[in-house]
Structure formats: structure tokens, C-alpha cells
Amino acid sequence: MANKLLEEILERVATWPEDRQEDVARVLIEMEEQASIGYGLTDEQVAEVERRRANPNRTFLTIEEVRERFAFRRP
């Protein structure tokens, strides 16, 4: 089904103005490049996610606590 749908779309794209066809080509190239890169977490990131998920009693900061923690970043 996906192949048929893709064929139908590409047939329609072939009738579009050249600049729009170039846009489609750029998008598809970008998608292909992203697929080949692969995304993943480092071991440290995985450990942090597991740590956070394991704590059912996690706490949340108040707005004031957030302001205090980021106060050092203000000029």
C-alpha cells in the first residue's frame, strides 16, 4: 500500500512547478539523511532516564525555586 501511495504522490509531484519539485526533493533528502544518522542516548543519559523513572515520589520545583536556581544566569 505504501508503495502505491508513494507512486501516486510522486506522479502528482511531477506535475508541480519545478521550484516546488525541488522543495520536495530537498525535504526527502533531509529525511533520508536524518534516518541514516540515527538518534540515541548516551549511557549517562539512559542512566539518568532510568533514575528518574525509578523514583515514583519525584518532587517538582515551585516557580520561586526555579527562579532561585537560575538567578545566577541573569546579567
**Co-location of 28 and 48 in the same domain:** no
Amino acid at 17: P
**pLDDT over 90 at 56, yes or no:** no
Cell numbers describing residue 59: 518532587
Q: Summarize the confidence of residues 9-33 as an average pLDDT.
A: 95
Q: Decide: pTM greater than 0.75.
A: no
**Co-location of 29 and 50 in the same domain:** no
Q: Exposed, middle or buried by CB within 10 Å (0-12, 13-18, 19+), for 1?
A: exposed
Contact 20, 10 (CB under 8 A): no
User: How do residues 58-74 score in pLDDT, each as one tens digit?
Assistant: 778 888 888 988 887 76
Number of domains in the chain: 2
Range of the domain at 28: 2-37
**Co-location of 8 and 29 in the same domain:** yes
**Co-location of 23 and 7 in the same domain:** yes
3-state helix, strand, coil in the chain (%, to 5): 75, 0, 25
**Co-location of 31 and 54 in the same domain:** no
